[in-house]
Structure 1
Amino acid sequence: MLVAASRLREMRLIEPSVGAPGAGGPGIVVTDTEYILYRILLNAQPCLHSRQRQHGIAPRGAIPISGTRERPREDVALDLPEAPRGGLAGFVEQTLKQALMEGRLKRGERLVTRDLATRLGTSPTPVREALLKLVAAGALEAAPAQAFTVPVVTVREYRELADIRRTVEGLAAERATIAMRPDVLDTLHAINAAYRAARLGHDVAEALRLNRTFRFMLYEAADMPTLLDMIERLWLRIGPSLNHLYPRPNEVDLGRHSYDDLLDALRLRDAAAVRASIERAIIAGTEILIANLADEEDLPVKRRVSFL
């Protein structure tokens, strides 16, 4: 490590004469690894993307070129509260997790470390730490220029995630039925009423927020922290696509909502019926979301819409 650090310091002191790996001239000769580390230390763009482009390989997280079917990535301005003085990285991580799971961060959107730090009134270090944790969880992708992007989940990936969700969320709902307390059940009824009002009022953002609140209050009642963590990781992946879940206003079915059946089954402590209600909701939601995504991408998939 000491030898490497000394080598990099030597490179930086004579920056104008440092050449690319294998280049001739008066500059010092450096290896591939040394050159990449040198560029990172200067906070410049590493040459990895350049080399990938030379070989026709698109860099991970790159902005799509004009004419591709994927939407161009956009910078996003979140309405963030000011960060508290203590536990800054944890605060940023929780704030971004909530935004991802509630669909306030959408597919392909771009987050810049320094911009987030400015909005939160903190230094870039805890913000970057939180963003890197979300990258490790698969919720974000690292991009050039100290930025991060929300991954674009494909239809195939979403179907796979839905299959996994049916298993783990169904188990959580089943176990929650056994441990359900009357006060929690009352709160779930109140959330469901507010959720229906938001749907009927075409307030998609509020409906998404209440939907997540309802689901996680139910799952938390199971008192299974490891299972809850698995569910949260899945929602971090699907959340940015949930804006495609709800149909257009003139297509909303005002009939009985799937959560009504679930609440009735909870009252009767029918664990199998509660699990079945959650699994049906996931299946129906997946069909609607994929159909709406297909409409956006002009794919020939039959549209199916119901009131979830």
Structure 2
Amino acid sequence: MRKKLVDSHLTLREKILETIREAILKGSLKPGEKVAEPELAERFGISRTPIREAFRQLESEGYLTVIPRKGAVVASLSERDVEEFYAIKSVLEGYAARMAADKLSDRDIERLETINDRLEKLAREGDVKNFFRVHSDFHEAFIRASGNDKLLELISQLLLKFNRLRMASLSLPGRMEVSVQEHRKLLEAFKARDGELAETLVTKTAAFGGQQLIQSMAQKEGRPFEGSILHQVGDV
């Protein structure tokens, strides 16, 4: 009975997380807007404790800012946040890809191909949520294959803190399809054991994702896209 209660609690907590994430990504909740605990408690018929737990997780992912004695508000998202995150991501994941090229076994590459086939199906279905999860599995697999545990830990911490940016980027029209295509090119580089090419592909793909997100932000604000420091990294 205890296990069932715990499982039920986790499921409900996940529903709260998804509800808030979706509202922020769709713009129903805007930067600076307060996320009311009482309304969520009434909607889900629960106490405020699991809601506060969800708030803490969403804060760690960059969705919310929890202010003592004031509650949670939607975190602001700036172009500089996007630029800095994707610039760092491109360098770290690019290095991981270079190191992984010589270490991935044929079986590892087959597994990556299977994951990418799954991503292609999810892209056709427009399933961003599951695409995001499986996409993370693809990248974690080759980063882990680099053999550098500290690098894996560093990238994992970085990605968790900026989950909101990654989800927002993958939600852009056509972005999932581009990701699948770029993964195919990366897989060919891995098969050829070409670490330099693998690094270049991962670096450019990360930069492209950041540029697309910044362009989307500019369009929503009704101003022209003037480029970013990510152009120094590259484009695809």
Identity, % of aligned positions: 20
Counterpart for residue 268 of structure 1: 192
Identify the range of structure 1 (221-230 vs 239-248) with the bigger mean alpha-carbon deviation.
239-248
- Compare CA radii of gyration and give the structure with the larger one: 1
Contact 1:195 1:210 in 2 (8 A): yes
> Any stretches of 5+ residues in structure 1 without a counterpart?
1-80
Cα deviation 1:23-54 (Å, max 9, x = unaligned) = xxxxxxxxxxxxxxxxxxxxxxxxxxxxxxxx
Q: Which one has the bigger helix percentage?
A: 2
Counterpart for residue 193 of structure 1: 117
Cα distance in 2, alignment partners of residues 259 and 272 from structure 1: 15
> Out of 243, 256, 279, which is 2:168 matched to?
243
> Any stretches of 5+ residues in structure 2 without a counterpart?
26-30, 228-235
Secondary structure of 2:156 counterpart: helix
Secondary structure of 2:66 counterpart: strand
Cα deviation 1:39-92 (Å, max 9, x = unaligned) = xxxxxxxxxxxxxxxxxxxxxxxxxxxxxxxxxxxxxxxxxx96459xx9xx89
Correspondences of 1:9-28 after superposition (within 5 Å): none
Structure 1 residues 113 and 181: alpha-carbon distance in aligned structure 2, compared to 1, 3 A threshold = farther
Q: In the TM superposition, what is the alpha-carbon distance from 1:159 to its structure 2 partner? A: 0.4
Counterpart for residue 295 of structure 1: 219
Cα distance in 1, alignment partners of residues 163 and 117 from structure 2: 22
Q: In the TM superposition, what is the alpha-carbon distance from 1:275 to its structure 2 partner? A: 0.9
Cα distance in 1, alignment partners of residues 203 and 105 from structure 2: 22
Contact 1:104 1:240 in 2 (8 A): no
> Out of 142, 147, 151, which is 1:227 matched to?
151
Matched residues, number = 212
Cα distance in 2, alignment partners of residues 114 and 243 from structure 1: 25
Structure 1 residues 230 and 114: alpha-carbon distance in aligned structure 2, compared to 1, 3 A threshold = farther
Counterpart of 2:141, as a letter, is: M
- The TM-score, its normalising length taken from structure 2, stands at 0.68
Counterpart for residue 76 of structure 2: 152
Cα distance in 2, alignment partners of residues 113 and 222 from structure 1: 46
Correspondences of 1:204-219 after superposition (within 5 Å): 204-219=128-143
For the aligned residue pairs, the C-alpha RMSD in angstroms reads 4.2
Structure 1 residues 234 and 112: alpha-carbon distance in aligned structure 2, compared to 1, 3 A threshold = farther
Cα distance in 2, alignment partners of residues 254 and 168 from structure 1: 21
Counterpart of 1:141, as a letter, is: T
Contact 2:112 2:141 in 1 (8 A): yes
Q: In the TM superposition, what is the alpha-carbon distance from 1:168 to its structure 2 partner? A: 1.1
Cα distance in 1, alignment partners of residues 7 and 39 from structure 2: 17
Contact 1:105 1:240 in 2 (8 A): no
Q: In the TM superposition, what is the alpha-carbon distance from 1:212 to its structure 2 partner? A: 1.7
Contact 1:139 1:237 in 2 (8 A): no
Identify the range of structure 1 (139-148 vs 168-177) with the bigger mean alpha-carbon deviation.
139-148
Counterpart for residue 204 of structure 2: 280
Q: In the TM superposition, what is the alpha-carbon distance from 1:136 to its structure 2 partner? A: 7.0
Cα distance in 2, alignment partners of residues 175 and 163 from structure 1: 19
Identify the range of structure 1 (204-213 vs 284-293) with the bigger mean alpha-carbon deviation.
204-213
Structure 1 residues 138 and 202: alpha-carbon distance in aligned structure 2, compared to 1, 3 A threshold = closer
Counterpart for residue 230 of structure 2: none
Structure 1 residues 171 and 252: alpha-carbon distance in aligned structure 2, compared to 1, 3 A threshold = closer
Contact 2:132 2:170 in 1 (8 A): no
Ranked by relative contact order (alpha carbons within 8 Å, sequence separation 6 or more), the top structure is 2
Counterpart of 1:169, as a letter, is: E
Secondary structure of 1:257 counterpart: helix
